[in-house]
């Protein structure tokens, strides 16, 4: 009876312990019953059971090597083999938990860690469609306003030269007075900085026929009825409420669209282009956000937008080649003042070499002037890249906040740049009322950091970043969903513009900046 | 070698007695229990549960190894254990430590005895 009880206790032991010592313990139990009280042995067995399960997890699954299982008689050759390895259950569970924790922490680190901050390619991370590019329509016709050079020095480059697209890009607006037929970018197309300005709304960016597909437009020339208009308005409101950077303004815009609809203001717009332009006007009247844009496409906008076609990329590359990456002028002015006129902040991958070469040619200058009077934006990566030459250490330029993702990404300079001698030289940025978006960011960042003197006019006041979203087969809306938060001012220049340190007419800005540079160098 | 074992010291009484019992010859579990009883003149008795728990640890630390053979006429359930070089080393280290303790204790006790007599 007692032996049976002891046997049960032994069988309750972990398998490794039981297989290794169970038989011998039982034999001891049988032999020691005379010396030990049976209760003492049972108690010892119970303690052993508790100890093995509570304190010895490392031995739970340990299986003794086979020779220990079957000791051979002395002198008999023995072949030893190992049992297949079986991890403990606990080890498997711990391993699983550890793997999950490691995976989560890796994801977290990628999302938030300093590595990401130092990585600096914010546009590439933020807008994970690095190949997207939009090319300017070959048929685009510059608006009359484009023929007037705001600085009176040189004819401005074509609108397209002001367009830079890193990945996604461009945006082009359908203006209320837009005469030319246009096709719009696909929904969800992302635009780091809108290059659009209301004054140049005739610039058109067309997707190639291949991209817009060969689907014939079923609604061309078909007048919009009230139901179709309501569907577009519903879609626009839904996108604005969900994605627009400022929910309060989004609510106001939604209310405005509804009130215009109910008042019958839209009834005249029976044409798609006209209706898109009307909605854009209504939205901008409330928000004063020039990045907002409702577009109409005669061709069907695909539901799932692939990246840009090779043709689009090639077209953008040709445009950048033709305009030298929108580097309109790179020269040394009298008194050894470097001068760089950049009309956009183009795609970093495509134009980094040319911009670096331009900066390198100005490396020996005693002061530098960045002419952004015709700069209409581009990608934040290029802004940070160019600003890198003005600092000798990594410098935080902006934080980009995306409301619907509740996420913030930081933009830092890549300083120090090898062999760069401009980090502490006097710097001037020329601005005009035309300077927009990315161009404004460059000026604003340097102003906040007190690294450059801004000369010229208050800029246009567009800080947001746009992502194009599909409403239906023919309508899409560019919704600004991301806005910069400057680390110094904790705000941005949206709707206000960047005010210059020295306010002069844009046309005179270069002359004034030159004299300021010369004065600075004489000190 | 002695320094290598110092962080294992002092040994628990069970470990010390098991190592000590195996220092003379290879023994099976029951033999170890008997040897311990003999060495301690019956004052220290180790139950099988405690014995094998300790043996398990000592085998893992490679202070004791299990032999793959036994005398042909022995009980087939028995396993034989042998002290390894490391086991002998740790036993030596513990013995030296205990010797120091005993010497110190004796010296102190003698001083106390002398002082009391003078008083």
Nearest-CB residue to B68 (from A25, A52, A71): A71
Helix (H) or strand (E) holding A46: helix A38-55
Rg of chain B over Cα atoms, rounded to whole angstroms, equals 18
| Cβ <8 Å between A27 and B56 | no
Alpha-carbon span A154 to A507, nearest angstrom: 11
Residues B19-28 have pLDDT tens digits of: 999 998 889 9
Question: Which positions of chain B have pLDDT values less than 70?
Answer: 1-3, 119
Alpha-carbon span A132 to A315, nearest angstrom: 12
Helix (H) or strand (E) holding A247: helix A247-262
Strands (E), B1-119: 27-28, 64-66, 69-70, 80-83
Give the C-alpha distances (Å, rounded to integers) separating A429 from A110, A193, A375.
Answer: 35, 19, 11
| Cβ <8 Å between B53 and A27 | no
- Do A151 and A435 contact (CB within 8 A), yes or no? no
Alpha-carbon span A344 to A350, nearest angstrom: 13
Q: List residues in chain B touching A: CB distance below 8 A.
A: 28-30, 33, 45, 47-50, 52-53, 55-56, 60, 66-72, 75-80
Give the C-alpha distances (Å, rounded to integers) separating A23 from A43, A472, B21, B50.
Answer: 18, 79, 21, 15
Q: Which two tokens stand for residue A204?
A: 């058109």
Residue A517 has a pLDDT of: 94
Q: Which residues of B touch A77 (CB under 8 A)?
A: none
Give the C-alpha distances (Å, rounded to integers) separating A327 from A156, A339, B70.
Answer: 12, 11, 91
Give the C-alpha distances (Å, rounded to integers) separating A197 from A32, A149, A182, A293, A387.
Answer: 99, 15, 17, 11, 24
Question: How near does any CA of chain B get to the CA of A95, in Å?
Answer: 23
Question: How near does any CA of chain A get to the CA of B85, in Å?
Answer: 20
**Cβ-Cβ contacts under 8 Å for A135 (sequence gap 6 or more):** A205, A206, A208, A308, A311, A312, A313, A315, A316, A319
Residue A101 has a pLDDT of: 94
Nearest-CB residue to A71 (from B29, B52, B70): B70
Residue A32 has a pLDDT of: 73
Helix A15-32, helix A38-55: angle, nearest 10: 170
Alpha-carbon span A463 to A485, nearest angstrom: 10
Nearest-CB residue to B69 (from A20, A59, A72): A72
Could you tell me which chain A residue has the CA closest to the CA of B65? A68
Alpha-carbon span A98 to B8, nearest angstrom: 31
Question: How near does any CA of chain A get to the CA of B6, in Å?
Answer: 23
Nearest-CB residue to A28 (from B30, B53, B66): B30
Could you tell me which chain A residue has the CA closest to the CA of B49? A48
Nearest-CB residue to B68 (from A41, A51, A72): A72
| Cβ <8 Å between A48 and B48 | yes
Give me the sheet containing B80-83, strands edge to edge.
Answer: B27-28, B80-83, B64-66
Would you put residue A359 in left (φ > 0), alpha (ψ -120 to 50) or beta? alpha
Could you tell me which chain A residue has the CA closest to the CA of B34? A32
- Residue A87's nearest CA partner among A61, A117, A111 is A61
State the DSSP string of A453-480. EEEE--------EEEEEE-SSSEEEEEE
Nearest-CB residue to A24 (from B60, B69, B79): B79
Question: How near does any CA of chain B get to the CA of A84, in Å?
Answer: 19
Alpha-carbon span A130 to A203, nearest angstrom: 23
Q: pLDDT truncated to tens, each residue of chain A (523 aa)?
A: 778 888 888 888 888 888 888 888 888 888 776 666 777 888 888 888 888 888 887 777 666 554 444 455 555 555 555 555 667 788 889 999 999 999 998 888 777 665 555 544 444 333 333 333 333 333 333 333 333 333 333 333 333 333 333 333 333 333 333 333 333 333 333 444 443 433 333 233 332 322 233 333 344 445 778 888 888 999 999 999 999 999 999 999 999 999 998 888 888 888 888 899 999 999 999 998 888 999 888 877 777 655 566 777 888 899 999 999 999 999 999 999 999 999 999 999 999 999 999 999 999 999 999 999 999 988 899 999 999 999 999 999 999 999 998 999 999 999 999 999 999 999 999 999 999 999 999 999 999 999 999 999 999 999 998 888 888 888 889 899 999 999 999 999 998 999 999 999 999 999 999 999 999 988 7
Q: What angle do CA B32, B35, B37 make, to 5 degrees?
A: 110
The backbone torsions φ and ψ at residue A330, rounded to the nearest 5 degrees and listed phi first, read: -140, 115
- Residue B36's nearest CA partner among B53, B52, B13, B12 is B13
Could you tell me which chain A residue has the CA closest to the CA of B72? A73
Could you tell me which chain B residue has the CA closest to the CA of A55? B53
| Cβ <8 Å between A71 and B79 | yes
Give the C-alpha distances (Å, rounded to integers) separating B85 from A469, B2, B88.
Answer: 77, 12, 5
ipTM: 0.82
Alpha-carbon span A51 to B91, nearest angstrom: 25
| Cβ <8 Å between A27 and B52 | no
Residue B102 has a pLDDT of: 93
State the DSSP string of B70-100. E-TTS-TT--EEEE-HHHHHHHHHHHHHHHH
| Cβ <8 Å between A25 and B66 | no
Residue A156 has a pLDDT of: 34
- Residue A382's nearest CA partner among A333, A436, A443, A438 is A438
Could you tell me which chain B residue has the CA closest to the CA of A47? B49
Give the C-alpha distances (Å, rounded to integers) separating A10 from A16, A27, A31, A46, B78.
Answer: 11, 12, 16, 9, 16
Query: From the centroid of its chain, how far is CA A508?
Result: 37
Residue A122 has a pLDDT of: 41
Question: How near does any CA of chain A get to the CA of B73, in Å?
Answer: 8
Alpha-carbon span A199 to A131, nearest angstrom: 29
Alpha-carbon span A458 to A436, nearest angstrom: 10
Q: List residues in chain A touching B: CB distance below 8 A.
A: 17, 20-21, 23-29, 31-32, 35-36, 40-41, 43-45, 47-49, 51-52, 56, 59, 64, 67-68, 71-76, 78, 80
Q: Which two tokens stand for residue B91?
A: 């036993």
Q: Which two tokens stand for residue B93?
A: 């280290």
Give the C-alpha distances (Å, rounded to integers) separating A208 from A141, A175, A408.
Answer: 17, 20, 34
| Cβ <8 Å between A48 and B49 | yes
Q: Which two tokens stand for residue B38?
A: 């003999």
Please name every residue paired with A478 in a beta bridge, in sequence order, or none if there are none: A293, A468
Q: Which two tokens stand for residue A441?
A: 């960011």
Across the A:B interface, residue pairs with CB atoms under 8 Å apart total 94
The backbone torsions φ and ψ at residue B117, rounded to the nearest 5 degrees and listed phi first, read: -65, -40
Could you tell me which chain A residue has the CA closest to the CA of B56? A17
Q: Which residues of B touch A25 (CB under 8 A)?
A: 29, 48-49, 52
């Amino acid at each position: 009876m007692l032996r049976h009880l002891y046997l049960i206790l032994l069988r309750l032991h972990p398998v490794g312990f039981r297989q290794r010592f169970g038989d011998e313990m039982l034999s001891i139990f049988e032999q020691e019953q005379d010396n030990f009280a049976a209760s003492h042995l049972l108690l010892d067995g119970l303690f052993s059971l508790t100890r093995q399960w509570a304190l010895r997890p490392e031995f739970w699954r340990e299986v003794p090597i086979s020779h220990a299982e079957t000791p051979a008689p002395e002198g008999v050759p023995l072949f030893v083999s190992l049992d297949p390895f079986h991890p403990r259950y606990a080890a498997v569970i711990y391993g699983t938990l550890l793997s999950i924790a490691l995976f989560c922490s890796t994801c977290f680190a990628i999302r938030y860690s300093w590595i990401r901050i130092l990585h600096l390619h914010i546009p590439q991370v933020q807008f994970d469609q690095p190949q997207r590019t939009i090319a300017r329509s070959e048929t685009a016709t510059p608006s009359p306003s484009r023929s007037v050079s705001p600085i009176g020095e040189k004819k401005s480059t074509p609108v397209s030269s002001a367009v830079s697209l890193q990945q996604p890009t461009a945006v082009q607006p359908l203006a209320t007075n837009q005469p030319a037929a246009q096709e719009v970018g696909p929904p969800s197309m992302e635009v780091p900085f809108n290059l659009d300005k209301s004054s140049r709304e005739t610039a058109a960016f067309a997707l190639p026929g291949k991209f817009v597909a060969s689907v014939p437009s079923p609604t061309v020339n078909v007048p919009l009825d009230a139901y179709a208009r309501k569907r577009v308005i519903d879609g626009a409101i839904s996108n604005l409420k969900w994605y627009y950077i400022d929910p309060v303004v989004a609510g106001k815009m939604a209310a405005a669209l509804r009130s215009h609809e109910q008042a019958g203001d839209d009834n005249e717009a029976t044409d798609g282009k006209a209706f898109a332009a009307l909605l854009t006007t209504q939205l901008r009247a409330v928000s004063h956000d020039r990045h907002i844009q409702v577009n109409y496409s005669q061709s069907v906008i695909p539901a799932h937008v692939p990246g840009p076609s090779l043709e689009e990329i090639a077209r953008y590359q040709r445009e950048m080649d033709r305009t030298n990456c929108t580097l309109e002028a790179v020269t040394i002015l009298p008194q050894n003042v470097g001068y760089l006129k950049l009309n956009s902040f183009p795609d970093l991958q495509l134009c980094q070499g040319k911009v670096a070469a331009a900066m390198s040619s100005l490396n020996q200058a005693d002061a530098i002037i960045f002419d952004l009077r015709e700069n209409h934006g581009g990608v934040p990566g290029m802004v940070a890249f160019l600003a890198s030459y003005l600092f000798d250490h990594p410098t935080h330029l902006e934080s980009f906040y995306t409301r619907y993702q509740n996420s913030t990404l930081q933009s830092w300079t890549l300083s120090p740049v090898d062999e760069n001698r401009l980090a502490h030289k006097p710097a001037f940025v020329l601005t005009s009322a035309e300077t927009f978006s990315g161009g404004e960011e460059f000026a604003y960042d340097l102003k906040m950091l007190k690294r450059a003197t801004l000369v010229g006019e208050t800029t246009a006041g567009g800080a947001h970043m746009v992502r194009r979203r599909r409403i239906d087969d023919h309508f899409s809306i560019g919704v600004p969903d991301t806005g910069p938060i400057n680390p110094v001012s904790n705000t941005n220049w949206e709707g206000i513009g960047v005010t210059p340190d020295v306010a002069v007419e844009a046309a005179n800005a270069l002359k004034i900046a030159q004299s300021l540079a010369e004065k600075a160098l004489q000190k | 070698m002695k320094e290598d074992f110092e962080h294992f010291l002092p040994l628990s009484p069970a470990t010390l007695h098991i190592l000590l019992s195996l220092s003379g010859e290879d023994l099976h579990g029951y033999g170890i229990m008997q040897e311990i009883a003999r060495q301690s003149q019956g004052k220290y008795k180790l139950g099988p549960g405690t014995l094998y728990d300790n043996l398990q640890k000592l085998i893992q630390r490679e202070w004791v190894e299990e032999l793959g053979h036994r005398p042909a006429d022995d009980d087939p359930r028995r396993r034989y254990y042998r002290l390894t070089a490391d086991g002998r080393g740790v036993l030596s280290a513990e013995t030296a430590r205990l010797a120091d303790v005993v010497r110190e204790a004796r010296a102190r006790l003698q001083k106390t005895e002398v002082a009391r007599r003078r008083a």
